[in-house]
């Protein structure tokens, strides 16, 4: 296949994979009340089902770079898409004599494993195959990731209303994942170029302050992002918003995330430093989430718009830092594994803290204070990670072999 055609197909594939990486989160939260009532889920299971998927992203993210070096990034990404399809099918299946809880737990864990691989490999593939279009491709695939959450948040409840089956409302999201796996299997199977560094190990990330700044930026971002996916609809419904309107508001917020995630990487790639941009979007996200919880209900569309624009840009910028702060695809994939391993592992505490604070206080009001602090933390580490430096090197301005960051 000619290289240009292969790159075009690869780019389309990465975008479509991204379009399936968040449906598991927002589809469950959109119909959480109905699932609890129909399946009789105990309180502890709701906490686990909203926290475990994000924890799985952190646990399994470090496995992606070595698997990609061994089998090829495209093949591992294909396997991840197949596993995601399987997990989405298993999740709503009832087991005779056991009910739906075991399958919900197992399917959710399988989805978390698959998404962890996809999350890590996408930045490495973009860095490897689109080095002169980092801003464009980062914006497109992160927008697709956000769009997957928007689609699931907006369409899952209407499917349940039309069919009367929460199992169908959850299981239907296996169809697009399966379609992507089948259509792009030939392209993935022939791609065997590994993601590698100049040597086998590359820079030691755990000893690099820049890597830690990017990682902690990701931690704060993940705490807010997955708490939004898991809890925004339940928060609105507790405030008196009906199920359909809560789904529409959550979907509206996530649609605006698409705008933020599309524009922010292109701007970031053209800036000499990204510190101010990272800090502003972090503060916008934290304040928007807090206002959705405690702000006047009449302004909920404005608060959700603030949250959406900020969160979309914040997610995209956190992922883009893995490419802008590294010099090669292998290091980008390894930094992506580190930042997502810690980011989602620690970020999963956000959904857990929301559940615990709500249980202790009987309301979501303390959660507003929590995410105001998390937003401030994201601003601090975003400013540090936005400085013009590379992982494994001194400041770019004093580096002998400094090169301008690619535009695109």
Q: 135 near 271, Cβ under 8 Å?
A: no
- Say what the pLDDT of residue 79 is: 94
- Residue 332 CA to residue 326 CA, distance in Å, equals 6
Gap between the Cα atoms of 383 and 191, Å rounded: 37
CA 343/CA 57 separation, integer angstroms: 9
DSSP 244-271: HHHHHHHHHHHHHHHHHHHHHHHHHHHS
Q: What tokens were used for 366?
A: 């303390």
**Whole-number pLDDT of residue 302:** 94
Query: How would you write the pLDDT of the chain (408 residues) with one tens digit per residue?
Result: 677 888 888 889 999 999 999 888 888 877 877 888 777 778 788 778 877 777 788 888 888 888 888 888 889 999 999 999 999 999 988 887 777 888 999 999 999 999 999 988 888 888 888 888 888 888 888 888 878 877 887 788 889 989 888 999 999 999 999 999 998 888 887 755 655 544 445 567 888 899 999 999 999 998 888 788 778 888 888 888 887 788 788 778 877 888 888 889 889 988 889 999 999 999 999 999 999 999 898 899 999 999 999 998 998 899 889 888 888 777 887 888 888 888 877 877 787 788 888 888 888 889 999 999 999 999 999 999 999 888 876 433 333 344 444 444
User: What is the model's pLDDT at position 398?
Assistant: 38
Q: Residue 197: what pLDDT?
A: 45
pLDDT score of 114: 94
Sort 402 into a burial class: Cβ within 10 Å, 0-12 / 13-18 / 19+: middle
Q: Are 149 and 96 in contact (CB under 8 A)?
A: no
pLDDT of 45 = 82
pLDDT of residue 203: 62
According to the model, what pLDDT value does residue 402 have? 40
Q: Checking phi first, is residue 97 left (phi over 0); if not, alpha (psi -120 to 50) or beta?
A: left
């Amino acid at each position: 296949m000619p290289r240009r055609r292969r790159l075009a197909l690869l780019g389309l594939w990465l975008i479509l994979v991204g379009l399936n990486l968040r449906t598991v989160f927002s589809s469950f939260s959109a119909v959480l009340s109905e699932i609890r009532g129909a399946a009789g889920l105990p309180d502890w299971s709701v906490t686990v089902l909203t926290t475990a998927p994000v924890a799985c992203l952190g646990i399994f993210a470090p496995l992606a770079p070595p698997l990609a070096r061994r089998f090829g990034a495209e093949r591992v990404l294909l396997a991840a898409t197949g596993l995601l399809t399987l997990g989405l099918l298993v999740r709503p299946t009832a087991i005779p004599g056991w009910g739906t809880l075991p399958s919900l737990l197992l399917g959710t864990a399988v989805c978390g494993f698959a998404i962890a691989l996809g999350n890590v490999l996408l930045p490495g593939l973009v860095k490897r195959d689109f080095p002169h279009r980092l801003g464009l491709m980062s914006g497109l695939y992160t927008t697709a990731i956000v769009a997957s959450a928007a689609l699931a948040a907006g369409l899952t409840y209407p499917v349940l209303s039309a069919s009367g089956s929460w199992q169908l409302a959850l299981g239907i999201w296996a169809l697009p994942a399966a379609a992507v796996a089948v259509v792009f299997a030939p392209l993935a199977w022939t791609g065997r170029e590994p993601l590698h560094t100049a040597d086998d190990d590359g820079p030691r990330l755990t000893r690099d302050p820049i890597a830690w700044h990017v990682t902690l930026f990701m931690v704060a971002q993940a705490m807010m992002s997955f708490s939004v996916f898991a809890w925004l609809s339940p928060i609105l419904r507790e405030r008196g918003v009906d199920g359909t309107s809560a789904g529409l508001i959550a979907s509206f917020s996530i649609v605006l995330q698409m705008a933020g995630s599309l524009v922010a990487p292109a701007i970031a790639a053209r800036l000499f430093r990204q510190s101010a941009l990272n800090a502003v979007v972090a503060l916008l996200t934290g304040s928007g989430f807090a206002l959705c919880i405690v702000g006047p209900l009449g302004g909920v569309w404005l608060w959700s718009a603030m949250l959406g624009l900020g969160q979309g840009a914040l997610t995209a910028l956190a992922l883009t830092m893995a490419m802008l702060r590294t010099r090669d695809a292998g290091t980008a994939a390894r930094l992506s594994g580190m930042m997502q391993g810690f980011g989602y592992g620690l970020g999963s505490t956000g959904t857990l803290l929301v559940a615990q604070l709500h249980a202790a206080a009987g309301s979501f009001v303390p959660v507003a204070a929590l995410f105001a602090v998390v937003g401030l933390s994201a601003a601090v580490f975003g400013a540090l990670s936005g400085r013009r430096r590379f992982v494994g090197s001194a400041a770019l301005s004093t580096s002998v072999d400094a090169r301008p960051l690619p535009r695109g």
